[in-house]
Structure 1
Amino acid sequence: MTRILQLTDLHVFSTPGATLKGIPTRECLEDVVGYIQANEHPFDHVVITGDHTHDEQRASYEAVRSILTPWHECLWQVPGNHDDRLLLRQVFPCRSEDGPGGTVNFVFPAGHWLCIGLDTHWPGEVAGVVEDQQLNWLQEILQQASQEDVALFMHHPPVSVGSVWMDAIGLNNRERLEEIIRADPRIRLVCCGHVHHEFQFRLHQADIVATPSTGIQFSPAGTSPQFADESPGYRVIELNEHAFTTRVHRLPVIKYHPAPDA
């Protein structure tokens, strides 16, 4: 069995104590990491599915790197809309591979599984995109793979999440990605971030799941951004031979509360 920890939407600032709508995101990440270390069994891999920072400053990435020190040797990352690819590569040089068009992807084997990180960052936009050259790269990896099952990791979900305002900043060119998923029955799991709440959807043979943020939580309700008074969360994934389990965990106490007008 391979155990994977997914963290997403960290939104760390360069200044300690800085808040996003009342939530001190750096301190929340420290709380999440501390809770995981105290309560979870060890992980074989840790995957960050984007939005490492909120202000895209080098000091923010360095703060994230410091907080994630326990997992440096098993850390994999893809960027989100609040990331800077150059800074991500500079601060985390060991786990960032150059993909087509300057994208930051990853590939690693996990027993019978192959795990692939797909960069959906669209410079200057909140929405995401998977360019054709990126999807060509994905198809090449899949064609070369001998593993019998595949898990994808990406920031923007490849499906609508049933929220007017979230879907307006979703993934572009997802139709071709959906076709790739449909055509390859080995793709069983797609783990995403971006929406800051737990979500699950079945796309052909694949389970599409989104994971709560390690900081501020969103509600999919309404036509404009809504903030949920919920505690930070993370996802645990266990990959077995031809099977997997996945579940979301949240910190047991709501320590900070959102302030929409902040």
Structure 2
Amino acid sequence: MSMIVQISDLHVSDPDSPSDRIVRQADRLARAVAWINRLRPQPDLVLASGDLVDQCRRSEYERLKAELADLRAPIRLMVGNHDDRDHLRAVFDDHDYLPDGPFVHYTVDHLDVRVIALDSQIPGEIGGELCARRLAWLEARLAEETAKPTIVALHHPPFPGGIEKMDAHSLIRGGPALESLLARAGQVVRVVAGHVHRPFTAMFGGRLAMTCPSTSHQIAFDIERQDGVAIMDEPAQALLHLYRPASGLVTHLLPIGDHPVLVDVKLD
């Protein structure tokens, strides 16, 4: 059995910045860390699928590292449009899975389910892309292991969710090529993303694809608005990907925080 908790869009900001005063992202991340630490069994891996910080500052990554220090489970960090690759590598220099080079992508191979983490960032832009070089890297990684169940993760969703301004800034280049590649990769059992601060699911390349909500704040569900989005103080949530050989991969959408038991029912 393997259990992976996916969190996303942490947006940790500097103390007393306007964003920090309004949203308190670091406090919300601290609650998420405490919640993960209480999970039983403990996850084999925590996957943070991008937008780790808010304004790409090195000081924000230093605060992020301090907030994650109490996390008991191992964590793997991905980049989103709010991230700076060089600052991430410099501050998290003890994370030896973070590669040198132009892109921050890697594989996780030691679990019962494999994870391929893609870098979909376009520096300075909100939307993302998978260029020919990144798609070739993914194709090579998929060819390495064709039998092991695999999760493909990227920050920008390659499929629309219906919120116009978020869809316009999701994966804006490379989506059709990714879809074609996944359609040929029978070992891929899930495609996961972040970025949109809401959970939704779709079929993409013949695979179940889904987005992970934020540990910080959510985007309002509004499929009629065309001039922007609203930031909501909805409950933080995470995805829990549970793999058992007998039943395959099951994904749970879980609220983050303490929720009291109303009735404890014992069943035969």
Q: Which residue of 2 aligns with 1:249?
A: 254
Q: 2:230 aligned with 1:230, yes or no? A: no
Q: Which residue of 1 aligns with 2:109?
A: 109
Count of equivalent residues: 253
The structure with the greater share of residues assigned to strand is 1
Larger radius of gyration between Structure 1 and Structure 2: 2
Q: Which residue of 2 aligns with 1:258?
A: none
Aligned-pair CA distance for 1:96: 4.1
**C-alpha contact 1:9 1:50 (8 A) present in aligned 2:** yes
Q: Which residue of 1 aligns with 2:46?
A: 46
Moved more, 156-165 or 111-120: 111-120
Change (3 A) 1:155 1:21: farther
Change (3 A) 1:21 1:163: farther
**C-alpha contact 1:51 1:82 (8 A) present in aligned 2:** yes
Cα RMSD after superposing both structures? 2.2
Secondary structure at 2:152's aligned position in 1? strand
Give unmatched runs, 5+ long, in structure 1: 255-262
Aligned-pair CA distance for 1:159: 0.8
Change (3 A) 1:235 1:17: farther
Secondary structure at 1:5's aligned position in 2? strand
Deviations 1:29-66 (A, max 9, x none): 11111122234431111111000100111121111112
Q: Which residue of 1 aligns with 2:219?
A: 218
Change (3 A) 1:56 1:22: same
TM-score, normalised with respect to structure 1: 0.89
1:1-262 aligned at under 5 Å gives the runs 1-15=1-15, 19=19, 22-71=22-71, 74-93=74-93, 94-98=95-99, 102-171=102-171, 172-221=173-222, 222-223=225-226, 224-241=228-245, 243-251=248-256
TM-score, normalised with respect to structure 2: 0.87
**C-alpha contact 2:146 2:185 (8 A) present in aligned 1:** no
State the AA in 1 paired with 2:44: D
Q: Which residue of 1 aligns with 2:265?
A: none
Deviations 1:209-239 (A, max 9, x none): 1111000110241221122331111111112
Change (3 A) 1:122 1:157: same
Secondary structure at 2:109's aligned position in 1? strand
Aligned-pair CA distance for 1:70: 3.8
Q: d(CA) in 1 for partners of 2:82 and 2:190?
A: 24
Change (3 A) 1:53 1:117: same
Q: d(CA) in 1 for partners of 2:177 and 2:65?
A: 34
Aligned-pair CA distance for 1:251: 3.1
Matched residues, percent identical? 26
